[in-house]
Each structure stands twice: as structure tokens, then as C-alpha cells.
Structure 1
Amino acid sequence: MTHDHDLVLRPTPAQTEAALNPPPGRTGGDLVVETLAGLGATTVFGLPGQHSLGVFDALRRSSLRYVGLRAENNAGFAADAYGRITGEAAPLLLSTGPGALMALPALQEAAAASAPVLALGSQIPAAGLGGGRHGHLHELRDQQASFRDVVKSVHTARTASQIPSAIAAAWESALTAPHGPVWVEIPQDVLTAETVLPVVTAMDATPEDLAPRPELTALAAHLLSTAERPAIIAGGGVIRSDASGKLRALAEKLDAPVVTTFGGKGAFPWKHPLSLQSWLEDRHTTDFLEDADVLLVVGSGLGELSSNYHTFAPRGRVIQIEADAGKLEANHPALGIHADARLALQALLETARDRTDATAPDRVRTVLDKVADRLAAQDLDLERQVVAAVRAALPPRAPSFWDMTILAYWAWSAFDARHPNTMHSAQGAGGLGYAFPAALGAAVADPTTPVLAVSGDGGAMYSLAELATAKQYGLDVTWLIVDDGGYGILRAYMTDAYGEATGTDLARPDFVALAESFGVPAALTTPETLTADLSKALATPGPSVVVLPALLKMFEPTHL
């Protein structure tokens, strides 16, 4: 039997001639950009630094589009969003030491959200590696160690000939389920030295499918088909694997209610009769899920936010489909199926028997009515008005990116994402400053639709420099800044816990005037005019800012 990997691809005469006569003046940096292009990359993000100039010089000889941001963590957030929107590995070009370390918060978010980012950093000259004694600018004793706990895999090229293979291995790792960030580093002298190696041609770094074990899906299908009260929790893995259609088909086949996690927003239609929506911080939802005799968890590790702060205690049989082996059965005993969500759902669709339950929509409606009654009993008209205004202004397929701010906490539960892969937040790792640079990356990925970023004034201060990036590249991003004079959610947490807050009130600029100083149009809005002002900004090409002064509150917690 002949297998694909047994085949040897013999070069054509033209390929042999090109390999024997490479163009002059190329460096290790050229090998980097040639490899990225050969793997299918079209766009790279990053910032130049002294040690990485060999790569940036090579960019001008390549077909790759470079998008430069003003700080490395923001470049990482932009690459993260590009990877989420396209499903492709997003190259992120960094320098050594401080420049590299600045990207760590973004790579942590990419790891938590399974976003494929290929971070490529420079290093001090190869002769000085490993010692920490040479006094090179930017030198770290062990730069890889700073990344190893954050990324999926670490790769090094110490010579020019190792560059294509190291990058290809990293590319495959980033796109192997679960997707995630990877780290490649190459010494400065390797990047700048001339090379006589042939031009890198198209490369195949297609990852292997992570297929489920058939005996496990057979058992899972039987349990679901014979369950009295099945339910489904759909997480971000459904989005990452583009499995929303299969999730809906399985839910309808089983008449099983579905709740989406905050990372899985949009994985199941919000208004579907079987949709429990995303009210995971509501005890009514938690009680319903605990009462399921068979609970299918797809693409979620049931972490803190997905388990109502670890108060969720399922009483029935749990089936967990998860591509990240570290999350499999990490929080609850389960029939663990280590697999890509799309492949596992397909196997269940093919194996499960039809199950009819005419009561399921009524039981779903009962839960949602209880949630609505609880909210109605609280003084939350302003908050619900603002969420509704944003939804009304945002086109159905336009992506939105949310910082860690009170309005985002509301959106996790209350916002109808309308379509898969359109709502993204920093809830994976929980860092500030994500929304606006991520939205810029999404606008680069798909310039055919406007993009919305939502920040509080505290989170916005992390990203103000990127107004220059938005203007420079003419990116179609509208930035909604909810100005409450500080870190609003932390102010609320501290006041509840200690009676008063410390360090949460902030001086801030006139955001409208500041945006206009970058040449970015801006408007001051009110809750009553928010829909109109946002709609106008989103309909106008190029970047814009809308500032909403408002003191928003969270709904009362029901996980205690």
C-alpha cells in the first residue's frame, strides 16, 4: 500500500535550475518571509526592533502585507483577532527581550481562546546564547523560558538552513486542534547573514485531524439518544472548529436544549426554541443544567466562568468533547472524548438516534422567563437599554470585540451574537486593552464589514496609541468607549467586598478631542442617542470613536 507520506516529490527542471541559481543579496530574513509566504500567509503584524531588522528588510522584497502597531501587546491582540476571523495562523514579528516580553499578555489571551498566532522573535547573536554573560542589548538568560509556559510550543533556528523547518513546525502546531499561539526565535546574525540557500517554495504543514475514538462516540450517542432530559453546553471549541451547523443539527435531532458559554457566543441561534442563550451566571440556568440526566459539553473546559464560578454540580452523566487534553475531565468526571469538536459532532450525528421531546421548548422558555423576571426585579433599565442599543446599531454579521468592562460582562450573558465567530472578548485570560487592537486585526482580516470595539475608559487607556494605526491604515473600526471615570468593575467588586474602593478612580483625557487629534472623527453620545450615533459611525468608512459617559451596574450575582 502506498501512503501519501511515502511519495517523494521530484523537482522539475525549472525548480532545479532555480535552486541552483538563487537570486543574490538574500539573507536569513528572506528565508523567514519566503517560508511564511510558502505556508500561505498573506499578512504579518508586529513591530521592528534592532535585532529583527533582517526580517523587516526582507519584507520589502516579499509579497507579504505588513501591519505595524504601536506596542507589541497590541500587535499580538491584532494577530489574535486575525487568527480568529480567518482561521489561519497569524504571523507576529517581534524583537528580542523587552519587545518580545511585551507580547506575553496577548499570547496568553490567544492561548486561552485557542487563537492561532505564530510569534516570531529575534535573539542575540548565536555565539552569546545561553550564557547571559555577553551584555548584549535586550539579552535574557533564557528567552524561551518566558514563553514556554504561555504558548503551545517553542521552536528555534540556530542556522539559516533550519529556518524553513522551524517555522513550518510552528505553523503546524498553531493550527493543530486546539489552535493556539507558538513561539519561534532566530538569532540576529542568522537573520542578517547572506545566504546562498535556494528560495523557499510552497510548503505543506497541514495538521493531522484530531478524530474521536469510535467506541466513545458510539457510547455517547447511545446515552444521548436514550436520555430523558439531555442538555448541551457549547463552548469556544465549537466556534474555533467551525462546527455551529453540526451543533444545531445534533440539538434538533435530540431535542436537546443548548446553552453557549461566553467564549461560545453565536455557536447556537439565540432565538431558537431550544436556546437557553448564555445566562451562565444565573442560578436558574445552572439548576436546569444540573438536572440534565445526560449533559453534553462540547469545546469547553467548564472553567470558572462556564461553571457559574465553580458552583455548578451536575447530577447526571457528563460527556465532554474537548481538543485540549489538559481540560478534559479537569473539573468534572465525564466520558471524555479527546477530539476536534467538528469531527466529534459529525460522529454523533451519524450515530445518534432521533429523539423527540415536545416539552423541551416549554422548559427552555420557563428558564428564560425566570431569568427575565429576576432582571426585571432589579433597577437595570439603563444597562439593558445600552446593550439593546449596541445590538440595534451593529450589522448582523459585523464582528465585535469587547474589553474587560461592565458592558462586556453584560454582553457575555445578554448580547445576541447573531452569527458564529462574530463576538469576541478578552474573557479567556482577562487582560485589559484587548478590544481596540483586536478589532483592528479583524478589520485587516475582512475589510468588507465594519468592526466594533467596546472598552471602558480604563481599558481604553491601554490602546490609545493604536488610533494612529487605525488612521494610518484606514481601518473600518468604530470604538465605543464607556466612560465611568475608572476601573468600573473593580470599583464595584471592591465596594461590595470592602465597603469602599481603592485605586479604581482615574483621571482621563477628553476622548473626543484626543481622537480628533489623531484625525479620527469622534462623537459624544447618550444612552438615548447611542443607537443612532453608533449606526452613523459604523456606516462611515474608516476609524471612528463614540464616547458614552455612563455609570453602569452589574446584575446581582446568583451563583452564591
Structure 2
Amino acid sequence: MTLVRNGGDLVVESLSALGAQTVFGLPGQHALGLFDALRRSSLRYVGLRVENNAGFAADGYARTAGTVAPLFLSTGPGALTSLAALQEAAAASVPVLAVSSQIPSAGLGGRRRGYLHELVDQQASFRDIVKSVHTARSASQIPSAMAAAWESALTAPFGPVWVEIPQDVLLAPTTVPRVTGVRAEPRPLVPRPELVAEAAVLLAEAERPVILAGGGVVRAGATDELLRLAELLRAPVASTFGAKGAFPWEHPLSLQSWLEDRHTTDLLEDADVLLVVGSGLGELSSNYHTFAPRGRLIQIEADLGKLESNHPAFGIHADARLALAALHNAIPAREADGRAEQVVTDLLKRVQARLDSQGLELERELLASVRRALPDDAPVFFDMTILGYWAWSAFDARRPNAMHSAQGAGGLGYGFPAALGAAAARRGEPVLAVSGDGGAMYSIAELATARQLGLDVTWLIVDDGGYGILREYMSDTFGQATATELARPDFVRLAESFGVSATETTPEDLERDLAKALAEPGPSVVVLPAVLRMFEPTHLG
């Protein structure tokens, strides 16, 4: 039988030439040309059971592998189901490259011909979410569209991109030569030298400099540069929830991540020069927009949409790593007199005293048990659950890129499928996912994926019988909760029905059971029945 190449082959050949190794997705009628072409390629396919989970898995892979994660989707319902995952990737600047089929070309251009899954302007649903949209209306356009999308996804700030190709273009035989020479080379976002010089003067002359490190530091691989600059300036460093691991947790200059604490907010406000790197100072990073700086604000940000979007600042549009390195080279070293370290010590003592007054020993010990059970280099993916909210402030990631959550867009169901994507990148190394019972129900179908592919993910499900954080919010606001209580399955027996090993644990046995599950190859589930509470973030008691 003569091999006939088609548009789908041009897609997978382009991805291979650009450096892709793994593809995530879910097949559908209009996209079958894409999936058939995978058969003739060296790309590894990781198939999920729900498109949104496939998007989350691609997100987890991209964060872990540090490269673009291709995501194959079908038209209409299949494509639209991925929107929440792509929104998270956009909010967290994660390079996911979604390739979607579209109805046949004859149905485009405003005409409605009644095709299955018909969306005449499918792109319109994605333009407000993805970084860029690319189309290929003929086979010859595919390699260029793929290269442009790849380059866009990896140009700072990173982000998800969308490529759309009609069904007939994917299926039609092509004489376009095999793709071998396609290239994508994102240009570095270099800081302007006059801006670096002025910022260096401000920081060198500051009496109380403080640094707030955002997720852009981790994405840019700028953790070493951040450490060198902080030690040069003798400046305390606070890390946003998206910057876990950007700065050593136990370093004498580390304010850690207690951003929902008024003591930390006061210290940031009191800085005569506050250097914000890789953060837009959004809702969570600004203690719910209560942050009001009194000193000079310098903001280094790769995303123009976030630069000075919440506070007037001396703005530097640049890659975090390049900007921090340039600042380090332009600032004289400051004498170490111990004052900055004392400021850090005093603040952390006040934070701990506040927590001690709230009777939250269970929650603090559970998070500590997770930390002790988890190998230092193993990543953890938290869903939007109370233990995850605790982790934003209290978890020591120990490595950059070792803790992730869905805090960007805040959608449920992120933790487990994202962890599956990370496991596909790590191949044989343990990964942890943490969900509540409510969020877990979004992802139950992916137990089949974990089992089928033998992915090394341990899934900790904290079962409190409902949407725990919403229960707490509603009770605090209205005096009682509505629509938060849930019927749920026996998670242990359910996991076992998929052929996945599972155990129910207790707070006392969590560390032991979690460590055992993480050490065993393949997927596993640990269920912890427990009702947790959040700390009171602004209590000064």
C-alpha cells in the first residue's frame, strides 16, 4: 500500500522539527487526520478522557519540561471543553499549543451548512483567552502556522496559542515536501539600558529595599539572579504564590509567602524602594488589592498588559532573568549589618504568633506531613482546595518549579490531570496531586488514563464532604452555606475499580501512607477524611 501523506502529517512533522516529543489530546471526527498522522510519527501521544483535563495535562507537562506542550482537539464541543484549561495556562503564562480541527472549508465564511459541531467563527471563543490565533486554510500554510504559533508560545511572556485547520485540509493528500527545515526562535526581551541604570540608582540609594518575586522569576529561570541581587542589596524577599521556590525558603532574607498576612503587606508598603519582579500585583499578590505602597515602586514585567496595571511604577518591560542580571552588574554591594535579616526574623515571628493563636494545629501538621513525605525534587500540583490554599502561603517548595496550583484562573479539577502531564515529562519519577473531594470529581475519569499509561502519580484526596472552601466562605459571609454539600463515592473502592492501588489514611498516618504511595511505581490514591479550616489572613491578634 502506497503511503499517502496529508495535512495531518504536515502538523506532526512540523511539531517534530520544532522539538516536540509528546502530544496531549482527545480524538474527534473532524480531527482524525491529526491522530492518524501520529501513527506515522515519533511523537508520544498521551490521551486523556476529557478535553479540559487534556488541557490541564498539557499545562503540567509544559511547566515541568520547560517547553511547548502540543494539545490536539476536535471541533466545536471538543474544542470548547478545553477553554477553562487554556484560561489557566494564559493566567499562569504556560506555553500550550492547541491544534484544533474546524468544519470543512466549504462551511466557513459566514455560511451555515449544518455540519456536525459547526462553529463558523470558532476562533472567536478563544481570542480572549489565548495569546495568539493562527490559521491554515491550505496544506502549504501548515508549517508556517505551526512555527509562528510555537514562537509565540515561547516568546516572553509565555502563553497558550491556538492553531485551527479545517477537516478537509487535514485529510487531503498533499505534495508538500516532508517538513524538516521549520524553525522558531523567540527573540529575548532585553531591558533598555537607561531604565536599568535608573533603577540601579534607586535601589543603591534605598535605605529599606524589599523585593517581591513573582511567577515570572520561575518561568524565566531567574532564581540564581534573584538570589545574587537580594544578597547584594541585603533586601528581604517575599515570594508570590506563583513564585514558590523562586527564593530559598529558609534563607535569612526570605519573607516566605505570607502575602495574605497584614504584617507582610505592611512591610511591603513600608519599603522606600520595592522591586517587583515577574508579578502584575494582582488580587492574590496584593492581599486582595489592599496593598498601597508608600515608597518608590520598580516593576520588571514581561507582559505589557500587567506592567503598571495596578499601581504606578517605574516600569521595565523585560525578561526577569536578563533584567535581574543587568541590575546586579550595575549596583555596588551593600554592607551586611544584619538589619534586613532582623526585619525578616521579626516578621516571621509575628506571622507564627498569629497562627498559634488560631488553633490550627491539624492543618499545619497535615501540610508538614505532605512536605516530609514528598521528595525534595518531586513536584506537587494542588487543586483549588483548602490544603492548597494553605500551601500558597505555608508550603516550602524547596526547588523552583516544584509546586503548582490553579491559582491563575482558579478553576476546579486542575491538580490530578496536570500531575499526569508532569509525570509524562518526568518518566518514572514521582509526582503528587492534591485535591478536595469536590475537585476530585472533575478528574475521576483520568484514573483510567493513569492506569492505562502507568503514570507515576500519587493522588491525595482530602474528603470533607463538599466544597470546603466555599462552605467556609459562605458560612463566614451569610451565616450558613448553600449548595456546598456533596454526595460522593467511596474513593478507595472507586480507584481500585480502575486497577489503581488506594488506601484510606488518617492525619496521624498521612506521612507514612503518602511516602509509601510515592515510592511505589504507577498511579496510587490516598484518601484523607478531614474537615479543614483556613487561617484568618488579616487577624493581628
> CA 1:493–1:62 in structure 2 vs 1: closer, same or farther (change >3 Å)?
same
User: Secondary structure in 2 aligned to 1:139?
Assistant: coil
> CA 1:310–1:361 in structure 2 vs 1: closer, same or farther (change >3 Å)?
same
Q: In the alignment, which of 501, 510, 515 is matched to residue 521 of structure 1?
A: 501
Checking the alignment, whether the CA contact within 8 Å between 2:378 and 2:402 is kept in structure 1 is yes
Checking the alignment, whether the CA contact within 8 Å between 2:107 and 2:120 is kept in structure 1 is no
Find the aligned partners of 1:510 and 1:352 in 2 and give their Cα distance.
59
Q: In the alignment, which of 407, 412, 415 is matched to residue 387 of structure 2?
A: 407
Shift of 1:87: 1.6
Superposition map of 1:5-404 within 5 A: 24-356=3-335, 357-404=337-384
The code of the aligned residue for 1:461 comes to: M
Find the aligned partners of 1:490 and 1:202 in 2 and give their Cα distance.
52
Checking the alignment, whether the CA contact within 8 Å between 1:132 and 1:140 is kept in structure 2 is no
Checking the alignment, whether the CA contact within 8 Å between 1:471 and 1:543 is kept in structure 2 is yes
Note if 1:460 corresponds to 2:440.
Answer: yes
Superposition map of 1:446-485 within 5 A: 446-485=426-465
Corresponding position of 1:509 = 489
Find the aligned partners of 1:28 and 1:133 in 2 and give their Cα distance.
24
User: Secondary structure in 2 aligned to 1:326?
Assistant: coil
C-alpha deviations, 1:295-349, integer Å up to 9, x for none? 0000000000000000011100000000000000001110000001011011111
> CA 1:158–1:538 in structure 2 vs 1: closer, same or farther (change >3 Å)?
same
User: Secondary structure in 1 aligned to 2:476?
Assistant: helix
Shift of 1:483: 0.2
Find the aligned partners of 1:424 and 1:265 in 2 and give their Cα distance.
8
User: Secondary structure in 1 aligned to 2:305?
Assistant: helix
Checking the alignment, whether the CA contact within 8 Å between 2:451 and 2:523 is kept in structure 1 is yes
Q: Tell me which stretches of 4 or more aligned residues in structure 1 moved more than 6 Å.
A: none
Find the aligned partners of 1:202 and 1:25 in 2 and give their Cα distance.
21
Corresponding position of 1:536 = 516
Find the aligned partners of 1:161 and 1:449 in 2 and give their Cα distance.
40
Checking the alignment, whether the CA contact within 8 Å between 1:311 and 1:559 is kept in structure 2 is no
Find the aligned partners of 1:198 and 1:132 in 2 and give their Cα distance.
33
Find the aligned partners of 2:539 and 2:269 in 1 and give their Cα distance.
13
Checking the alignment, whether the CA contact within 8 Å between 2:428 and 2:455 is kept in structure 1 is no
Note if 1:497 corresponds to 2:477.
Answer: yes
User: Secondary structure in 1 aligned to 2:253?
Assistant: coil
User: Secondary structure in 1 aligned to 2:24?
Assistant: strand
Find the aligned partners of 1:352 and 1:192 in 2 and give their Cα distance.
59
Corresponding position of 1:16 = none
The code of the aligned residue for 2:450 comes to: A
Corresponding position of 1:7 = none
Find the aligned partners of 2:218 and 2:116 in 1 and give their Cα distance.
42
C-alpha deviations, 1:225-263, integer Å up to 9, x for none? 111000000000001001001100100011000000000
The code of the aligned residue for 1:399 comes to: P
Find the aligned partners of 1:559 and 1:135 in 2 and give their Cα distance.
59
- Using structure 1 for the length normalisation, give the TM-score: 0.95
Find the aligned partners of 1:545 and 1:352 in 2 and give their Cα distance.
50
Checking the alignment, whether the CA contact within 8 Å between 1:125 and 1:189 is kept in structure 2 is yes
Checking the alignment, whether the CA contact within 8 Å between 1:281 and 1:559 is kept in structure 2 is no
Shift of 1:448: 4.1
Shift of 1:559: 7.6
The code of the aligned residue for 2:505 comes to: T
RMSD: 0.9
Shift of 1:132: 4.5
Checking the alignment, whether the CA contact within 8 Å between 1:308 and 1:559 is kept in structure 2 is no
The code of the aligned residue for 2:394 comes to: A
Shift of 1:358: 2.0
User: Secondary structure in 1 aligned to 2:432?
Assistant: strand
The code of the aligned residue for 1:141 comes to: V
Corresponding position of 1:20 = none
Shift of 1:37: 0.3
Find the aligned partners of 2:268 and 2:511 in 1 and give their Cα distance.
35
Note if 1:552 corresponds to 2:519.
Answer: no
The code of the aligned residue for 2:253 comes to: L
Find the aligned partners of 1:522 and 1:471 in 2 and give their Cα distance.
12
The code of the aligned residue for 1:36 comes to: L
Checking the alignment, whether the CA contact within 8 Å between 2:216 and 2:278 is kept in structure 1 is yes
Checking the alignment, whether the CA contact within 8 Å between 1:24 and 1:196 is kept in structure 2 is no
Find the aligned partners of 1:335 and 1:445 in 2 and give their Cα distance.
39
Shift of 1:202: 3.6
> CA 1:392–1:132 in structure 2 vs 1: closer, same or farther (change >3 Å)?
farther
User: Secondary structure in 2 aligned to 1:327?
Assistant: coil
The code of the aligned residue for 2:7 comes to: G
The code of the aligned residue for 2:470 comes to: L
C-alpha deviations, 1:496-516, integer Å up to 9, x for none? 111111100000000000000
User: Secondary structure in 2 aligned to 1:217?
Assistant: helix
Shift of 1:133: 1.3
Checking the alignment, whether the CA contact within 8 Å between 2:354 and 2:539 is kept in structure 1 is no
Shift of 1:24: 4.4
> CA 1:59–1:559 in structure 2 vs 1: closer, same or farther (change >3 Å)?
farther
Find the aligned partners of 1:507 and 1:385 in 2 and give their Cα distance.
27
The code of the aligned residue for 1:156 comes to: T
User: Secondary structure in 2 aligned to 1:360?
Assistant: helix
Checking the alignment, whether the CA contact within 8 Å between 2:52 and 2:85 is kept in structure 1 is yes
Find the aligned partners of 2:203 and 2:462 in 1 and give their Cα distance.
44
Q: How many residues align?
A: 538
Find the aligned partners of 1:355 and 1:72 in 2 and give their Cα distance.
52
| Structure 2 stretches lacking a partner, 5+ long | none
Find the aligned partners of 2:101 and 2:203 in 1 and give their Cα distance.
51
Deviates more, 1:307-316 or 1:441-450: 441-450
Find the aligned partners of 2:348 and 2:295 in 1 and give their Cα distance.
22
User: Secondary structure in 2 aligned to 1:185?
Assistant: strand
The code of the aligned residue for 1:260 comes to: S
Shift of 1:428: 0.3
